[in-house]
Amino acid sequence: MSRLQTIYRAAYGLAVVAMLGTSSYAQFAGPVESFDAKNQILPLTESIQQKNWPDAGARIDAVIHDNPDALFSTEGGGGALVSMRAWVETLPAATRAALQPEYDKINGEAAKQAMEAAVTKPGVRPGDFIAVANAFPLSSVDGEAWGRAAMRAVDFGDTSLATVLLKRAIDHGWKPTESQQNVLDAVTKVSLPNAAPVSVLAPWYTADPPIAAKRVIPVSAGGIIFVATERGIVAAKETGEKLWEFVVPKADGTMAGARLSFNRPAVLCDSAGKPQIVIVRQIIGGTRFGCLRAFRATDGKLLWTTETASTLGSWSLASAPTIAGRETLVIAIDDTARPMPVAVMAFETMTGRFLWQSQLGAYTSVTEGRGQGSLHEVDSLWSSSGVTVDGADVFVSAGLGLTASLDRFDGKIHWIRPFKPTLMPGEELIALARQMVHADVKTREAFRLKLVALKNMLGKTPLEMPNDANDVRDRRDVPADVMALGLYFSQPPRWLSTPAVAGDVVVVAATDMAGVVGLDRATGAQLWEIPEELHAATLLGVSGDVAIFSSDKLTAIDAHSSKPKWDWSGSEPIAGPPSLAGTVIKVGAGKAATAISAESGKIDPLASVAGGISPLLTNEATKNALVSIDALPSIVGSPSLTAVPPVKTKPTPEPKKKPAAGK
């Protein structure tokens, strides 16, 4: 068993000793149940079952009108909270059709007036029709509103949005005319190419145990490679020739944004696969705040930035950004407020115009001490890889102890599913140290044992460690040496935090979760769980129905059943983050690169492994640019493009699973 496994299993089995109710430990509190389901949903459900449509129509109008976004628990939800609006969306089509006439008796005229106002509005946007559909979700104009939104998205040239809206419109009963269908077919059947991460060799990837490190993931699109950090971005041709660079002053090295940031550029491509816009999250010079910057992909012209956006106030944009056509999404935090809110924010990709924000919850009991790392608990957002957007849904799991589904169009919460977060040993040490002021004998002894254990695991180090618990017992702030040791062992082995979607299943392997779970896309109910076997493996993503995980080898499971599909390992362990693009995984083991089929786990003889950052490191101008943005410590090159390592592909044993909640 590796040191990484030893540390992580210890963290998994320790029942989160650091979270003993101390007021000095920042804890994240998500939304709570805010709707009386027993007195309102149960009678409504009974009316639907009895086909008493007049009563059901009146009841559903009342709850939609008064509590469209209220959250409540459902039978079999296993702790998930679902919004009323999302619950209505899960009703069978036949039930919705039966309710529509009764709903129209109450709201039909208002719905028609809202639709007419949107149609005649100068410069109407897709969002105006979406607002009508959301306001009157069971009316006879609902499907038409979604259809008009799809057509308007075509007018704006947003193929991605038009495709999503078309599906929603058809699901809600809209039938386009022949001419409308011809227009929609011309744009929505075009599959837009996406930028793909570049497989690199990375010193942080093989560190055992994981160490606190900045993680840089280059991205390739249309023959251009983009490399970004918290203070700059470099664009170069795949041949190594530098195209452009953008650099801002170096940030304070003690900041989480400089030490722990996850840096993967988000790229918008046109239908030919040519990159148009690249968006990165960076630190605003001379501050601790993060902002978004958008550049023209071909020449690096700065198109917009949130750096000077007065609407953001003291919000810091902390996670890596995600582009979903018209929208660019990022996780943000306001660390000047108490409690400290965390939200997902959406901006218009082309202009940077603020669209919406949705608060996920807030950190409470935040340490106010002056010591370095006093806000350590919130630093994890800087290492978050952001959100996942699939169709009309946004999925979030960013080290907050919860997974959430939001509406892509307005950010309203569909459902929230909390889970008990797993702390790494260094996080436990820091939390215990903060309890020393008023600690009892048991807590003091727990701190001493944890301190000794981590010092022994650290081995030779230039850090000067405290001798015993008395060194921190009477101090308000955690001493710098204890904080340094805690931060050293606080990095989770998983380096991606985004969920992955396979049809109606959301696969979640969060950075603060010991296992892996499969959730129902519509309600957040748990479908399956693998509690331990993949505890240190990162979820690369989903290809078809296959979920791919990466550690020192590749592992695949069926996303719907969680049954094992295949394992792959080369003659040497994987030495850097693999790249999943479509049905191909590019991976470097040792110094060799190969392409693996996501479906079979075997070498794909037709896939090319060409392309990588090695040419960038041999071009003097490009290499100097990478040095100027502090990218090189995170990447040392690309695996060889000529050698192919021996491959071992075998079925994996059946993992231990816990039954789905409520079953």
What is the band of 536 on the pLDDT scale with cuts at 50, 70, 90?
Answer: confident
Size of the chain, expressed as the number of residues it contains: 663
Helix and strand tally (H, E) in the chain? 16, 35
Amino acid letter for position 544: G
Query: Average pLDDT in the 92-116 region?
Result: 95
How far, in Å, CA of 24 to CA of 364, rounded? 9
User: Looking at per-residue confidence, does 636 or 317 come out higher?
Assistant: 317
β-bridge mates for residue 313, sequence order: none
Average pLDDT over residues 484-512: 89
Give the pLDDT band of residue 639 (cuts 50, 70, 90): low
Selected residue with higher pLDDT from 365 and 566 = 566
Strands of the sheet containing 516-520, edge to edge, are 500-502, 505-508, 516-520, 526-530
Say how far apart CA 176 and CA 174 lie, in whole Å. 6
Residue 455 region by backbone torsions, left for phi larger than 0, else alpha for psi between -120 and 50, else beta: alpha
Q: What is the mean pLDDT of residues 95-99?
A: 94
Q: Residue 660: which pLDDT band, with cuts at 50, 70 and 90?
A: low
Q: Give 572-623 pLDDT, tens digit per residue.
A: 889 899 999 889 999 987 777 889 999 999 988 877 766 688 899 999 999 9
**What is the reported pLDDT for 593?**
82
Q: What is the predicted pLDDT for the residue at 20?
A: 35
Quickly state the pLDDT bin for 459 (edges 50, 70, 90): low
Residue 230, pLDDT above cutoff 80: yes
| Reported confidence tier of residue 518, pLDDT bands at 50, 70, 90 | very high
Tell me how many degrees the CA angle 632-210-364 measures, rounded to the nearest 5: 105
CA–CA distance, 356 with 354 (Å, rounded to integer): 6
Mean pLDDT of 500-508: 97
Mean pLDDT of 438-444: 77
* 27 vs 663 pLDDT, higher one: 27
Average pLDDT estimate for 449-470: 61
**CA–CA separation, 304 and 325 (whole Å):** 16
**Residue 129: helix, strand or coil by DSSP?**
helix
Q: What are phi and psi of 508, to 5 degrees?
A: -125, 125
Q: How many CA atoms are closer than 13 Å to the CA of 178, on its beta-carbon side?
A: 0
Q: At what angle do helices 93-119 and 142-155 cross, to 10 degrees?
A: 50
Label residue 629 by pLDDT band (50, 70, 90). very high
**pLDDT for the residue 208:** 74
Nearest to 205 by CA among 630, 550, 534, 533: 550
Give residue for tokens 């957007």.
389
Query: What residues contact 238, with CB distance under 8 A and at least 6 apart?
Result: 220, 223, 224, 225, 611, 615
Q: What is the rounded average pLDDT of the residues 30-54?
A: 88
- Residue 65: count other Cβ atoms within 10 Å of its Cβ: 12
On the question of pLDDT at 475 being above 50, the answer is no
Whether residue 457 is predicted with pLDDT greater than 80 in this model: the reply is no
- Please, are residues 296 and 277 in contact by the beta-carbon 8 Å criterion? yes
Percent of the chain with pLDDT over 70: 86
Question: What number is the average pLDDT over the span 175-184?
Answer: 90
The pLDDT mean for the chain works out to 84
User: pLDDT value at position 333?
Assistant: 95
pLDDT (0 to 100) of residue 121 = 95
pLDDT of residue 211: 72
Tokens describing residue 639 = 């695996």
The least confident of 6-10, 78-82, 116-120 is 6-10
Which residues are within 8 A (CB) of 359 and not within 5 positions of it... i.e. 6 or more apart?
341, 342, 343
pLDDT at 14 over 50: no
Say if CB 392 and CB 409 are below 8 A apart.
yes
Long-range CB pairs of 301-308, under 8 A, 24+ apart, other chains included = 302/246, 303/277, 303/350, 303/352, 304/351, 304/352, 305/352, 306/347, 306/352
Q: Which residues have CB under 8 Å from 623's CB, separation 6+?
A: 616, 617, 632
**Residues 451/476, Cβ–Cβ less than 8 Å:** no
Q: How many CB atoms lie within 10 A of CB 42?
A: 12
Kindly give the interhelix angle for 425-433 and 480-488, rounded to the nearest 10 degrees. Answer: 160
Q: Which two tokens stand for residue 585?
A: 């995984």
SS (H, E, C) 52-95: CHHHHHHHHHHHHHHCCCCEEECCCCCCCEEEHHHHHHCCCHHH
**Rounded distance between C-alpha atoms, residue 596 and residue 107, angstroms:** 55
Peptide bond into 209 cis (omega under 30): yes
Which two tokens mark 391?
A: 């169709």
How far is the C-alpha of 125 from the C-alpha of 307, rounded, in Å?
A: 26
Per-residue model confidence (pLDDT) at position 647: 37
Indicate the DSSP class of residue 638.
Answer: -
User: Where residue 16 falls among pLDDT bands split at 50, 70, 90?
Assistant: very low
CA pseudo-torsion sign 80, 86, 90, 91: positive
Phi/psi region, residue 313 (left: phi>0; alpha: psi -120 to 50; beta: rest), is: left
Does 356 have pLDDT greater than 70? yes
Residue 361 has a pLDDT of: 94
Neighbours of 216 (CB within 10 A): 27
Strands 340-348 and 327-333: antiparallel
State yes or no: pLDDT of 380 exceeds 90.
no
Phi first, then psi, for residue 301 (nearest 5°) are: -65, 130
Rounded Cα–Cα distance for residues 197 and 495 (Å)? 14
Q: CA dist 450 to 1, 209, 455, 469, Å?
A: 20, 16, 9, 10
Alpha helices in 250-408 (DSSP H): 256-259
Residue 433 has pLDDT above 80, yes or no: no
pLDDT of residue 638: 67
